[in-house]
Amino acid sequence: MSLWEYANPKKFMQTSSAVLPFVAVLTVVCLTVGLTWGFFFTPDDFRQGSTVKIIYLHVPSAMMAINIWVMMLVTSLIWLIRRHHVSVLAAKAAAPIGVVMTLMALFTGAIWGQPMWGTWWEWDPRLTSFLILFLFYLGYMALWSAIENADTAADLTSILCLVGSVFAVLSRYAANFWNQGLHQGATLSLDKEENISDVFYFPLLFCLAGFVLLFVTLLLVRTRTEIRARRLSALRLRERQAA
Amino acid sequence: MKALLLRDLALAVKAGGGFGLSLAFFLIVTVLIPFGVGPDTGILREVASGVLWVGALLACLLSLDRIFQLDYEDGSMDLLVTAPLPLEGLVAVKAFAHWLTTGLPLTLLAPVLAVLLNLDPAGFPWLVVSLALGTPALSMIGTFGAALTVGLKRGGLLLSLLVLPLYVPTLIFGAETVRRAVDGFDIVTPLLMLSGITMGAIALLPFAAAAAIRINLR
């Protein structure tokens, strides 16, 4: 019994189909509880008013936007080293989710920034690096769709993901250096003293968990689709060769 | 290695090789800017350093797909790969040839264009230095992008989508160096960062590019 057993597509399909309903239900529960609690049962912030509630979408989506890229980095590495197809298909399946999360963080940020900073967009290091991350996702997806041979595409996108990660981190610090920011620093952690108020913190925890679960659910569904699509094309190929 | 370098240089300078095209492009971009933002010398002075860097970067991008495409199409790529020269070395030489035919002339042309854009005199030496330090990174990153897309029929547009985000740090530190020089601030930090990016790119990216070529030729 080892982790690598799940790299077998058949085993992966079995396990994921068993796990999927539970994760999906848990996602709905967490998001419903978190968002309802956050939107309707928390007081308005004394300075920010009701706009503070964008935090329940902004922070989780921003967090996922970065973490999904990290997850793609890990699965790409696994593909390059151990050649497990499920791994690279998971990376492929994750990219569009990552794009949506990045866009969501940018949009909610703009909506939040308008009343708070008086501007929709500011060339702030955090905002800029998210825009660049968005471009990285686009490039990664474009490369996937441009190459016909599936294995070649998997190899090349994995290499791009590795190199891209280095440059994404570099861009982050470069942007930081290039311009001083308007965006606040991290006010969210499990162990620090300065934290956002508990009233906002607990619903936010639910939302964070909900977004992670949402990603897992979507990732499982999309990876299953990718595996099925791969099987379908293999079947078609065999049929054509038989004919 | 030397033979390959000379061959690439000869091919680039020959008619249709694209040498001079990127220089002309750089010139045109720089000439277009005053039409776009207006001929006010004050505004031009403000944006000159950034415009020159962006122009050099785009001119560099223009010639990238030539690095491997022609060799790939006429089959000489297969011969080069089977040659005793390691593929990483081949990639490095190709990038160096690209820099000699694009980056170096751009660096030398930049001060002339800087006069057109009314760059502050304090910025001139550092514009040249930052371009000289930064364009090798542009060539190397571009070679990596070209290696990724070499197997594609019309990879030009995809190439720019892949490469431009990778150019961001180089651009930021390069333009920052010139801007700081103009404003009279300390320029050591961005210059060191810029050199660091170039060194890192030269040290690591040949391996990534060579891996991409191996996959594309499989």
Q: Is A30 helix (H, G, I), strand (E, B) or coil?
A: helix
DSSP B61-100: HHTTTHHHHHHHHHTHHHHHHHSSS-HHHHHHHHHHHHII
Q: How far is B169 from chain A (nearest CA, A)?
A: 5
- Contact (CB<8Å) B158/A178: no
A182 interfacial to chain B (CB closer than 8 Å): no
Residue among A81, A138, A170, A180 with most chain B CBs within 10 A, to mutate: A170
**Looking at the predicted structure, is the pLDDT value of residue A140 above 60?**
yes
Any domain includes A4: no
Any domain includes A16: no
Mean pLDDT of A22-38: 90
Residue among B215, B217, B218 with most chain A CBs within 10 A, to mutate: B215
Predicted pLDDT at B17? 59
Q: How far is B54 from chain A (nearest CA, A)?
A: 15
Residue of B nearest to A160 (CA): B148
Contact B45, B183 (CB under 8 A): no
Residue window 119-178, chain B: list those with CB within 8 Å of chain A.
Answer: 144, 148-149, 151-152, 155, 158, 161-162, 164-166, 168-169, 172-173, 176
Q: Identify the domain containing residue B105 by its residue range.
A: 1-217
Contact A95, A219 (CB under 8 A): no
Q: Is A73 helix (H, G, I), strand (E, B) or coil?
A: helix
- Contact (CB<8Å) B190/A177: yes
Contact B68, B150 (CB under 8 A): yes
Taking only the tens place, the pLDDT of each residue in B188-210 is 888 998 999 999 999 999 999 99
- Contact (CB<8Å) B158/A146: yes
Taking only the tens place, the pLDDT of each residue in A48-85 is 667 777 888 888 898 888 899 999 999 999 998 888 88
Taking only the tens place, the pLDDT of each residue in B30-84 is 888 888 887 787 888 888 888 899 999 998 888 888 888 878 888 888 888 888 8
CB atoms within 10 A of CB A233: 11
How far, in Å, CA of A93 to CA of A159, rounded? 17
Range with the lowest mean pLDDT among A201-205, B107-111, B212-216?
A201-205
- Contact (CB<8Å) B173/A174: yes
Predicted pLDDT at B15? 59
How far, in Å, CA of A51 to CA of A35, rounded? 14
- Contact (CB<8Å) A159/B215: yes
When CB atoms are compared, the residue of A132, A142, A147 closest to B168 is A132
Q: What six digits make up the tokens of A135?
A: 């471009």
Taking only the tens place, the pLDDT of each residue in A79-133 is 988 888 888 899 999 999 999 999 999 999 888 888 877 777 777 777 888 888 9
Predicted pLDDT at A187? 58
When CB atoms are compared, the residue of A136, A156, A177 closest to B212 is A156
> At B184, is the pLDDT very low, low, confident or very high (cuts 50, 70, 90)?
confident
Q: Identify the domain containing residue A205 by its residue range.
A: 21-177+196-242
Specify the number of domains making up chain B: 1
When CB atoms are compared, the residue of A135, A143, A174 closest to B148 is A143
Q: What six digits make up the tokens of B48?
A: 């000159």
- Contact (CB<8Å) A178/B205: no
- Contact (CB<8Å) B164/A147: no
How far, in Å, CA of B50 to CA of A1, rounded? 57
Contact A78, A87 (CB under 8 A): yes
Q: CATH number, domain at A154?
A: 1.20.120
Residues of chain B with C-beta less than 8 angstroms from the C-beta of A168: 165
- Contact (CB<8Å) B162/A142: yes
Bridge partners, residue B42, by sequence: none
Specify the number of domains making up chain A: 1
Taking only the tens place, the pLDDT of each residue in A152-193 is 888 899 999 999 888 888 877 777 777 666 666 555 555 544
